[in-house]
Amino acid sequence: MAAERTARARGETPDEVLDRNVNEVLQEIRVTITAVQVLFAFLLTLPFQSRFGDLGTFGTTVYAVTMISTALSTVVLVAPVSFHRMLFRRRQKSAIVAFADRSLVGGLTLLLVGIGSAVLLVLDVVLGRGPAIAVCAVIGVLGL
């Protein structure tokens, strides 16, 4: 309903609305994927640092959660690009928009887990477990 009102107010046809929605969601993915790539690149280097072995079970578990959620976020955020390419010129823009929207929400959720657990990992070393968990909880609440 709101989309129809917006389209009427803008004087857009249904095809123009879909074109705009595709462009907007792909732009959102482009912006988000940069953050994911930076975090992922940083995480790839951590096990090769001399103090990585000092993390202990908690630290290595948090690292694994961070690494896995960031890798999954990358995959989920890139998926709409592949989906768009598969359906290119097949008049399936509404399916592309719906898939990209779900992927963006899923990718952002996984990114929130990745960022939160990365902060937990670092602050556990810097401030201790209690403050690290508190800050991570605040990030989680604000991220929702």
CA dist., res. 82 & res. 75, Å (int) = 10
pLDDT digits (tens, 9 = 90+) for 99-137: 999 999 999 999 999 999 999 999 999 999 999 999 999
For the chain, residues with pLDDT lower than 50 are none
Residue 66, CA distances (Å) to 5, 72, 74, 100 in order: 41, 10, 12, 23
Q: Report the alpha-carbon distance of residue 59 to residue 95 in Å, rounded.
A: 41
Residue 92: the pLDDT is: 76
- Residue 4: its pLDDT value, please? 64
Looking at residue 115, what is its pLDDT?
95
Question: What is the spatial distance between Cα 70 and Cα 41, in angstroms, rounded to a whole number?
Answer: 10
Share of the chain above pLDDT 70, in %: 94
Q: 140 burial class (0-12, 13-18, 19+ CB within 10 angstroms)? A: middle
Of the candidates 47, 53, 57, 43, the residue with the CA atom closest to the CA atom of residue 113: 43
Residue 49 DSSP SS3: coil
Contacts of 115 (CB under 8 A, 6+ apart): 39, 139, 143
